[in-house]
Amino acid sequence: MISEKRDLPKKTEDLSGWYNKVVLLAELADYGPARGTMIYRPYGYAIWELIQKEMDRLIKEKGVANAYFPLFIPESLINKESKHIEGFSPELAVVTIGGGEELKEKLVVRPTSETIMYEAYARWIDSWRDLPLMINQWNNVVRWEKRPYLFIRTTEFLWQEGHTAHANHDEAWQMVLWAMEMYTKIYEDFLALPGYAGRKSESEKFAGADITLTYESLMPGGKALQSSTSHDLGQNFSKPFNISFLNNEGQREFVWQTSWGLSTRSIGGMIMAHGDDGGLRLPPRLAPIQVIILPVGNEAKIIDFSRKLVDKLKESGIRAELDDGENETLGSKINNWELKGVPIRIEIGPKELEEKNITAVRRDNGKKQSLKQGGLAEQIKNLLDDIQNNLYKEAKKFLEANTKEVNNYEEFKKLMAENRGFILAFWCEAPDCEEKIKAETKTTTRCLPLEAKEENGLCIYCGKTAKHKWLFARSY
Amino acid sequence: MISEKRDLPKKTEDLSGWYNKVVLLAELADYGPARGTMIYRPYGYAIWELIQKEMDRLIKEKGVANAYFPLFIPESLINKESKHIEGFSPELAVVTIGGGEELKEKLVVRPTSETIMYEAYARWIDSWRDLPLMINQWNNVVRWEKRPYLFIRTTEFLWQEGHTAHANHDEAWQMVLWAMEMYTKIYEDFLALPGYAGRKSESEKFAGADITLTYESLMPGGKALQSSTSHDLGQNFSKPFNISFLNNEGQREFVWQTSWGLSTRSIGGMIMAHGDDGGLRLPPRLAPIQVIILPVGNEAKIIDFSRKLVDKLKESGIRAELDDGENETLGSKINNWELKGVPIRIEIGPKELEEKNITAVRRDNGKKQSLKQGGLAEQIKNLLDDIQNNLYKEAKKFLEANTKEVNNYEEFKKLMAENRGFILAFWCEAPDCEEKIKAETKTTTRCLPLEAKEENGLCIYCGKTAKHKWLFARSY
């Protein structure tokens, strides 16, 4: 099945061709029959399940409860917050027929759930005792996509969306920050994707938010990828949706809200950032299979030994699998598991049955490592941690090497013409400069890093006073 | 918030009124703004998560992998299997506008995923080595509903759907049976809902199946509820979708397929079957909160003691919670947790701080039980098991008392006019008799129990030879 690996383009020569092909060949995903849709195949979905498991734990620990709201939003409801509908209306899929009849009111397939959730929040919240209300859902959303790209841009995708309502702005803002910290943790510790957490500019923020925080990572081609955001919604929704509460002085106030989401786009980023010419290189913490055991030949003794080894590793909580299929050569199997990015490969031949050591091959750097059979699970766990850290370090090095401070617009244009990653430059925060930079260089402001301090500088474009260095890049 | 409990109708007097009200008051669910849709609120969704956790484990143990297929099915694709589309077409929601434009081909919002999945199966399956292909997904589906009823009948609902493809019919049939056994286990051991697993009649089977197995439980009003089915699809889909494989003799054959699903409807059944005039009675294994601890008064010592108790129980894996809210009276709290069906309530007052025993109140029968504080977690676990078993036994008794063998049609009509549960009666299996019985008594064949043996009898309707006693009932 995966013998077409020879067709995989070189990643450095044709990133986009390599990406599409590796996603299909590694059986992470496939195209759906309706334009722009995708199928999450078991191997790709298993990665999402591992992300879910970790995030779900963190979300629940924070006291946010899971729930599920309807897919269909009546048109009149989604129209209630004007900037929100303005931002989303070009991307909507609309149901006009239900149960064989033309509907009186059209139903929008949710592109995000603010409006459908807040209609209920207005009914559920009455007093300060009902606050904070903190709900998350794991669901599918639909945003019409004209230039689909597996995982990165698809008409339907999977994500989680958290929606909280608070009695005051400070508490809401702490929640916005908490969500971005959680995402940063998921990116750094699981996806092994370093990046910048920061604030979006006015023109790039979420339709309906006062402030949007984003996590921006860098892809090998030099483009930025955004796959999680956290929004301070202020009272922008609570006013039109009339979500108010009696405070403990008996006065009615509108609630302060947040929403935050991370999507399966993050998987696309992980594939693109870490893969190499041989295929995927999965970070061990998100690898559905962490160790693949390949028996050499089909001698019963060897198969039996391999099977016991798998069981032993599984008992220690390592996701180990045996590939004892008889219809493939060892070489073809090695190719296959390399393509699928399994972090550690162990071959078991007659030698391993006799000696005290076995050899593990790392997917990240191809190095062979001799491990003692006594206490093997512990050594494997350490090796997996080391691979996880190494992938992160490599990506961090790439990010740092491709983040440049620039003080003049000519240099800015030159770097961006070459797609050279992130540029840190003073910007006066006037939308006009941002727009012109975008028109002239296809580059957008990505964010103002959270840790940025106020400085005195001159806008890279207009030369007027600027207080902060912003991050610019081309993006997906 | 839940002080409206006094408005709860008596279950025995107004089942449907009681049901709607208890679902809303216990905050299990709420209505969505689009007709027929519902919101799964955190307390209701947590029950679904507990069902998912258990089923997901069983499904994966069987070697079935999770995946996710698109929401949108092009019209031409869903039309491919004629009986399938004939069955589903009255229930479809259809997207006709995408990204601001009228679509050339309409997109159906999945009512079930056979067609969207099998288009891909045709591409993925090529040889006997690719079989069996066994995939499951947890997702939302849409079936237009004109008489919505929370959990029981809604336009959108949540479920899992398993879809497998096999090299021969026998293997497929074993899978159909396996799924029904798994569902039976979930019903009996978790939902505490006894019922009958059996085969649907030709007219009642799934649109596109050769054989449909169903699990039918009995609701207090005497109506049957079906909330899981397992289908032997034969080659009905593999032929129009051209899902074929090269067998190991080099010949091309069509695969044999199964599909099986269990939906959130099961939660509706659980609520209706076990609840009483005080509200829900949740089976402990699916109760989001198994033990509620209520401090009496707000003395620091008592709160502290209660908190430690909760921690201790949690450490032992018991889902315990503390209700130390100061804005409600103890009586109102007791009412609330009774309404929410929490299996065990423990009140902590000054006495409990001094004595060696504490008192647990069972939600299922209201009985008080004195427990030793030493080894409390073990005793609580036993008590929870006992409550679980007791709810099952009560329901089993009700099912048995309301399943009657009937040999004459007059008696059949009389019982059914009173909605008196299941009738076991000989039926000749002619669709004509089944139709007339339905027209005259609003009663349908529910299933032929799996363990039914061939007998010699006379059809309850036409008096001709009949080989089996079928189960009849009115149904949701």
pLDDT in tens, B363-402: 999 999 999 999 999 999 999 999 999 999 999 999 999 9
**Residues A187 and A149 occupy one common structural domain:** yes
**Whether residue A3 has pLDDT greater than 70:** no
Note whether A331 and A184 are same-domain residues: no
Chain B nearest C-alpha distance from A342 (Å): 18
- List of chain B residues whose C-beta atoms are within 8 Å of the C-beta of residue A30: 120, 123-124
Q: Collect all residues of chain B within an 8 Å Cβ-Cβ radius of residue A133.
A: none
Between chains, do A33 and B89 touch, taking CB under 8 Å as contact? Answer: no
Lookup result for tokens 């008051």: B25
| pLDDT category of residue B126 using cuts at 50, 70 and 90 | very high
pLDDT per residue over A401-448, tens digit each?
999 999 999 999 999 998 889 999 999 999 999 999 999 999 999 999
CB A281 within 8 A of CB A290: no
Is A68 in Cβ contact with B45 (below 8 Å)?
Answer: yes
Question: What pLDDT score does A4 carry?
Answer: 53
Phi first, then psi: what are they for B9, rounded to 5°?
A: -65, 160
Q: Tokens 């490969």 map to which residue?
A: A345
**Mean pLDDT along residues B405-422:** 93
Of B91, B100, B158, the CB nearest to A68: B158
- CA-nearest residue to A69 within chain B is B39
B281 within a domain of the structure (yes/no)? no
As a whole number of angstroms, the distance between CA B381 and CA B390 comes to: 14
- Boundary of a domain, candidates B274, B299, B315: B274
Q: Minimal Cα–Cα distance from A54 to chain B, Å? A: 15
Strand partners, B263: B159
Best CA proximity match to A40, nearest among A265, A191, A269, A215: A265
What is residue A129's three-state secondary structure? helix
**Looking at the partner chain, which of A41, A90, A107 has a beta carbon nearest the beta carbon of B34?**
A107
Query: Could you read off the pLDDT of A49-82 as tens digits, one per residue?
Result: 999 999 999 999 999 999 999 999 999 999 998 9
* Confidence tier at B474 by pLDDT (50, 70, 90): very high
Q: Do B109 and A71 touch (CB under 8 A)?
A: yes
Interface of A with B in 154-183 (CB under 8 A): 155-156, 158
Lowest mean pLDDT, pick from A172-181, A282-291, B3-12, B309-318: B3-12
CB pairs under 8 A between A and B: 177
Of the partner residues A74, A98, A116, the one whose CB lies closest to the CB of residue B144: A98
Give me the mean pLDDT over the A326-352 stretch.
Answer: 95
- Mind listing the pLDDT tens digit for each residue in A262-281? 999 999 999 999 999 999 99
Host domain of residue A21? 3-274
The pLDDT value given to residue B363: 98
Domain boundary among A249, A274, A299: A274
Proportion of chain A above pLDDT 70, given as a percent: 99
User: Residue A7: which pLDDT band, with cuts at 50, 70 and 90?
Assistant: confident
> Do B270 and B293 share a domain, yes or no?
no
For the segment B159-211, what is each residue's pLDDT rounded down to a tens digit?
A: 999 999 999 999 999 999 999 999 999 999 999 999 999 999 999 999 999 99
Tell me whether B121 touches chain A (CB under 8 Å): no
ipTM: 0.97
Domain stop point among B274, B305, B336 = B274
- In the predicted model, is pLDDT for residue A2 greater than 50? no
Q: What is the distance in angstroms between the Cα of B395 and the nearest Cα belonging to chain A?
A: 29
Say whether both A435 and A329 belong to one domain. Answer: no
User: Is A394 part of any domain?
Assistant: no
Which DSSP category does A224 fall into? E
Closest residue on chain B to A75 (Cα): B34
B:17-56 residues touching chain A, CB 8 A cutoff: 30, 32-34, 37-42, 45-46, 48-49
Model confidence at B440: pLDDT above 90 = yes
B200-242 pLDDT, tens digit per residue, is 999 999 999 999 999 999 999 999 999 899 999 999 999 999 9
Give the nearest partner residue to B97 out of A94, A126, A139, using CB atoms. A94
With respect to residue A262, please indicate whether it lies within any of the assigned structural domains.
yes
* Three-state SS at A200: coil
Which chain A positions have a beta carbon within 8 Å of B38's beta carbon?
A: 70
Nearest CB to A109 within list B95, B158, B327: B95
Q: What is the CATH number of the domain that holds A464?
A: 3.30.110.30
The answer for B 61-120 residues in CB contact with A (under 8 A) is: 65-74, 77, 89-100, 106-107, 109, 116, 119-120
Q: How far apart are CA B68 and CA B110, in angstroms?
A: 12
Could you tell me which residues come within 8 angstroms of residue B303 by beta carbon, excluding any fewer than 6 positions away? B295, B324
CB contact under 8 Å between B93 and A97, yes or no, is: yes
Determine whether the interchain pair A42/B135 forms a contact, defined as Cβ–Cβ distance below 8 Å: yes
On chain B, the residues whose CB falls within 8 A of the CB of A124 are: 30
With cut-offs at 50, 70 and 90, classify the pLDDT of residue A5.
low
B80 burial via Cβ count (<10 Å: 0-12, 13-18, 19+): middle
CB contact under 8 A, A96 and B99: no
Q: Which residues from chain B sit within 8 angstroms of residue A145, using beta carbons?
A: 99
- For B262-289, letters b (16+ CB in 10 Å) and e give bbbbbbbbbbbbbbbebbbbbbbbbbbb
CA-based nearest distance B417→chain A, Å: 31
In Å, how far is B434's CA from the nearest CA of chain A? 27
Residues of A in contact with B74 (CB under 8 A): 33-34
Res A326: pLDDT: 86
* Among B30, B142, B156, beta carbon nearest to A120: B30
- To the nearest whole Å, the CA of B159 is away from the closest chain A CA by 12
Question: Is pLDDT of B109 > 90?
Answer: yes
CATH of the domain at B295: 3.40.50.800
Q: What is the CATH number of the domain that holds B78?
A: 3.30.930.10
Tell whether the model's pLDDT for residue B43 goes beyond 90: yes
In a domain? residue A391 = no
Same domain, A63 and A123: yes
Q: Is residue A28 domain-resident?
A: yes
Q: What is the pLDDT of residue B426?
A: 98
Confidence at residue A6, expressed as pLDDT on a 0 to 100 scale = 65
Tally of domains in chain B: 3
The answer to whether A158 contacts B90, with C-beta atoms less than 8 Å apart, is: no
A327 interface with B at CB cutoff 8 Å: yes
Amino acid letter for position B107: L
Q: Are A472 and A422 in contact (CB under 8 A)?
A: yes
Residues in B closer than 8 angstroms to A98, CB to CB, are: 92-94, 144, 155
Lowest mean pLDDT among A133-147, A183-197, B74-88: B74-88
pLDDT of B116 strictly over 80: yes
Q: What is the CA radius of gyration of chain B?
A: 25
Looking at the fold, whether A59 and A112 belong to one and the same domain comes out as yes
- Which of chain B's residues have a Cβ under 8 Å away from the Cβ of A104? none
On the question of pLDDT at B1 being above 50, the answer is: no
Stretch among A180-189, A423-432, B411-420 having the lowest mean pLDDT: B411-420
CB A440 within 8 A of CB A412: no
Chain A: give the shortest CA distance to residue B219, in Å. Answer: 26
Whether residue A87 sits in one domain with residue A48: yes
Record: contact B34-A72, CB cut-off 8 A: yes
Chain B residues touching A39 at Cβ < 8 A: 67-70, 120
Instruction: Please state whether the predicted TM-score (pTM) of the whole model is above 0.90.
Output: yes
Which residues are bridge partners to B276 per DSSP? B279
Strands A291-295 and A344-348: parallel
Cβ-defined contact of B32 to A139 (cutoff 8 Å): no
Mean pLDDT of chain B: 96
Q: 3-state secondary structure string, chain B?
A: CCHHHHHCCCCCCCHHHHHHHHHHHCCCEEECCCCCCEEECHHHHHHHHHHHHHHHHHHHHCCCEECECCCEEEHHHHCCCHHHHHHHHHHCEEEEEECCEEEEEEEEECCCCHHHHHHHHHHHCCEHHHCCEEEEEEEEEECCCCCCECCCECCEEEEEEEEEEECCHHHHHHHHHHHHHHHHHHHHHHHCCCEEEEECCCCCCCCCCCEEEEEEEECCCCCEEEEEEEEEEECCCCCCCCCEEECCCCCEEECEEEEEEEECHHHHHHHHHHCECCECCCCHHHCCCCEEEEECCCCHHHHHHHHHHHHHHHHCCCCEEECCCCCCCHHHHHHHHHHCCCCEEEEECHHHHHCCEEEEEECCCCCEEEEECCCHHHHHHHHHHHHHHHHHHHHHHHHHHCEEECCCHHHHHHHHHCCCCEEEEEECCCHHHHHHHHHHHCCEEEEEECCCCCCCEECCCCCCEECEEEEEECEC
Tell me: do A242 and A374 sit in the same domain. no
Task: Find, among B181, B179, B177, B187, the residue nearest to B162 by Cα.
Answer: B179
Interface of A with B in 255-274 (CB under 8 A): none
| pLDDT on residue B2 | 46
Q: Which residues contact A29 (CB under 8 A, 6 or more apart)?
A: A23, A38, A39, A40, A41, A44, A150, A151
B264: nearest CA partner in chain A: A68
Co-location of B170 and B82 in the same domain = yes
**A355-384 pLDDT per residue, tens:** 889 999 999 999 999 999 999 999 999 999
Write the residue in B37, B41, B68 that is nearest to A45 by C-beta. Answer: B68
Cβ–Cβ contact B417 with A under 8 A: no
Tell me whether residue B467 is in a domain: yes
Residue at B321 is within a domain: yes
Same domain, A88 and A160: yes
Asked if A202 and A240 sit in the same domain, the reply is yes
* pLDDT for res B4: 53
- Does the structure show a pLDDT above 60 at A109? yes
Query: pLDDT averaged over chain A?
Result: 96
Flag if A34 and B97 touch (Cβ within 8 Å).
no
B12 and chain A in contact, CB less than 8 A: no
Contacts of B100 in chain A (CB under 8 A): 89-90, 92, 144
> Is A389 domain-assigned?
no
Chain A closest CA to B100's CA: distance in Å?
6
Residues of B in contact with A155 (CB under 8 A): 72, 98
Residue of B nearest to A325 (CA): B129
Same domain, yes or no, for A88 and A213?
A: yes
CA B116 to each of CA A331, A384, B270: distance values in angstroms, whole numbers, following the listed order: 35, 37, 31
Q: Does A309 touch chain B (CB under 8 A)?
A: no
Contacts of A135 in chain B (CB under 8 A): 42
